[in-house]
Structure 1
Amino acid sequence: MSNTNWSRRSFIQQGAILGAGLGMLPLISWKAPGSGDFVEFISPIDGDMLHVRDGKQLKNGVGVKVKIKPVAPGKINLTINNIQAKEESGNYTADIILKGFENKISVCDTLTGRKSTITVFYLSKLNNQYRLSVDDAIWFLKDIHINAAVYTSVFDNPFMGLLRSLHEAYGTKVHINLFYETDGFNLSQMTDKFKKEWARNADWIRLSVHAKAEFPDDPYIHAGYGEMYRDCHAIRTQIQRFAGKEVMDNTTTLHWGQVPVEVCRALRDEGYKIQVCDFNVDNDLPPCSYYLDVPHRRHINKRFIWRDNKEKIIFVKSSIIIDTVKLQHIKGFLDSYGENNIIPPYVDLLVHEQYFYPDYKNYQKDYREKLTAAIEWAQMHNYTPGFLSECVI
């Protein structure tokens, strides 16, 4: 599906209309490679990243007991990791303990010896964290560049000042995804005067790649490995130069996020093993789902996190695009996850930088209040600040 008829403005407007209707999402099943028609995994599927909400945490905290649910036809006798499975009308279950990061789930028919295996993961530190992530970001850096001789701190910049005030009030951690260039400025011009200050604040600020520039829309929809690797490397090089390696991370959100698999491979090879996006499906919004097909997008909308084991890339769904939702609807939008029994284990509160500025044509005068409302929702629901790189271990 192409996004070529979408502009950022129409995306924002349509998102505000459709975003609150989450609905119940259909399940997908997974046939492990080489399994033929022997067995399908209903829950978990290959690449699922499980956490304490998916089962019962062991008393010592080193593992979690989860229920494995395969489906298999015909007369068979299934064991799951050598534990006898319970059967009812072709549906099988067994409680399995997951320990450590990577876990193999093997289903075997003891009557024939047929065996099928998937790989899932246990995230012991993923449980009720959130972050504020900022997309389309570069204007604040241009302002710091222009005022390098005047500013004594990066927080003299109004946008950075806002982010610091949110951190001071709530402990919020902020991940900023950068363009390389905008009108009259690119990252190679950014002063390194504040490099030590960036490093001192790396416990709550991270910088990463977004795209070369805001326009055209869908800049990488037909890109190859080389183009993405080049742009990604250029941005990472400049971040390290002016802000230091301390603020760099293994997580990013790619601009528009509708790309061939080669683009995601380039990001992965440049260190971005966690790739965040909207994963739109079953609505009229642009997919923003990297290279994933509809069944896997539906699965991520239910799970919020999934790993493509073939490509060794972890995908995470944003929970809200704050600037697409009216202030009075933000808490209701986030509440709708619980109402639909789809509760995110990690909440990514996404916003775009440009709506902060009064001289921007689509300026949102309640920008600060919107961020505050989203963060307060997270706090009230017992989410604590944490970067994805700290939780997905």
Structure 2
Amino acid sequence: MISRDNPYVHFSIDDVYLWLREIDSQAETSSSIFDHPRLACLKAFHDRYGAVVTFNCFYSDEPATWNLGQMTTRFKEEFAAHAHWLRLAFHANTRQDNYNECPEEEARSHYRNTMAAFRSFATDSNIDTLGRTHYNSGNLANVRVWRDSTPGAKGFLASDDGRKVDMYLDEAQREALKQEGIYYDEKEALYFIKTMPRLENWSDPAADLSAWAGDPAYAGKLQTLVLFTHEQCWNADMETKLDRIFAWAAAKSYEFAYPMDRI
């Protein structure tokens, strides 16, 4: 089960590809992954508040020819040293892939290629086994393939909205997830965790969270705050928004943690 003690915050970024490609392209002139301004900002959030982050990664981004398998290994030790707050998860092979429809063998190959790349330029300790797939997609056959891979998926971050297709979950399972925020599928031995509204569409999350914290209707429903945005949505406003959220959470004695570590 997932512990409901010690409220915590997890933050992830979907569609990550360009930042890693930029780090690779600048490897000969950079001394650290934190020379990249986006990663430097994230490290500042970790140093200031203890924030943790997962990059939900595309393996490639067609029609680009570069992929994660070509990522420089120069910073492998640095990735390892920061694995307690900087992790990587499978999102999709490319932004064109949807795993509700993708053949099982392709889903297996996409996942394995991504895991192999992570192990090449980072380490096993950097791999988050409870990430978010592209479009929150994954029929049961494909999810089983990922669960039974090495390292195997322990579960998934579910959608932030009321979509009718959320991984393979049926209506009753989706309703249980909506009500509790956390759902464990005993038959498949997989965990699902509800995601908060995507930050690019959430105008003032710190103010809303503060209001909800004092509202009896939300009692017990703010133990786990799963926050996310997308790589392409990162800008100065997003940095300000995150700074306010993390400051609010720290002041409320939230911990910053990975769902995979709370199972």
TM normalised by structure 2 equals 0.90
Q: Deviations over 1:257-310 (max 9, x none)?
A: 1332112112211211121121633xxxx4451111223212212211111111
- Paired with 1:207 and 1:386, the residues of 2 have a C-alpha distance of 14
Pick the structure with greater CA Rg. 1
Maintained 8 Å contact 1:180/1:235: yes
Q: How many Å separate the matches in 2 of 1:331 and 1:369?
A: 11
The whole-number CA distance in structure 2 between the counterparts of 1:124 and 1:305 is 10
Q: Deviations over 1:322-362 (max 9, x none)?
A: 11212xx2124434654332513211111111122xxxxxx
The answer for unaligned runs of 5 or more in structure 1 is 1-120, 357-363
Does 1:352 find its partner at 2:227?
Answer: no
> As a proportion of its length, which structure holds more strand?
1
Match of 2:70 among 189, 192, 196: 189
Instruction: Report if the CA contact (8 A) 2:69-2:116 is conserved.
Output: no
Task: Name the structure 2 match of 1:231.
Answer: 110
Rounded to whole Å, the distance in 1 between the matches of 2:85 and 2:160 is 26
Match of residue 170 from structure 1: 49
Q: 1:301 to 1:377 in 2, by over 3 A?
A: farther
Between the aligned partners of 1:139 and 1:225, the Cα distance in structure 2 is 27
Aligned to 1:208: 89
Per-residue Cα deviation, 1:89-114 (whole angstroms, up to 9, x for no partner): xxxxxxxxxxxxxxxxxxxxxxxxxx
Alignment equivalent of 1:147, drawn from 26, 39, 46: 26
Structure 1 residue 320: deviation in Å? 3.0
* Number of aligned residue pairs: 256
Shift of 1:202: 0.8
Counterpart of 1:322, as a letter, is L
Matched residues in 2 for 1:287 and 1:332: separation?
A: 29
Contact 1:126 1:391 in 2 (8 A): no
The CA deviation at 1:248 is 1.4
* Cα RMSD for the two superposed structures: 1.9
**In structure 2, C-alpha distance between the alignment counterparts of 1:199 and 1:225, rounded to whole Å:** 31
User: CA, structure 1 residues 221+348, in 2 after alignment: closer, same or farther (shift >3 Å)?
Assistant: same
Work out whether residues 212 and 231 of structure 1, in 8 Å CA contact, stay in contact via their aligned partners in 2: yes
Match of 2:161 in 1: 280
Aligned residue in 2 for 1:112: none
Question: Equivalent residue for 1:366?
Answer: 237
Q: Name the CA distance, whole Å, in 1 between partners of 2:56 and 2:128.
A: 11
Residue 149 to residue 265, structure 1, CA distance change in 2 (3 Å): same
Q: Partner of 1:371: helix, strand, or coil?
A: helix
Kept in 2: contact 1:278–1:288 (CA 8 A): no
| 1:344–1:301 Cα change, 3 Å | farther
Indicate whether 1:293 and 2:174 are aligned: no
Q: Distance in 1 between matches of 2:26 and 2:148?
A: 35
One-letter amino acid of the counterpart of residue 169, structure 2: L
CA contact (8 A) 1:129 1:384 kept: yes
Amino acid at match of 2:206: K
Aligned to 1:383: 254
Letter in 1 for 2:92: A
Map residues 327-342 of structure 1 onto 2, 5 A cutoff: 329-335=204-210, 337-338=212-213, 339=215, 340-341=217-218
Give 5+ residue unaligned stretches, structure 2. Answer: none
Once residues 84 and 191 of structure 2 are traced to their aligned partners in structure 1, the CA distance between those partners, rounded to angstroms, is 22
Inter-CA distance 246–287: structure 2 relative to 1 (3 Å threshold): same
Contact 2:160 2:198 in 1 (8 A): no
| Bigger mean CA deviation after superposition, 379-388 or 232-241 | 379-388
Q: Structure 1 CA distance, aligned partners of 2:239 and 2:165?
A: 26
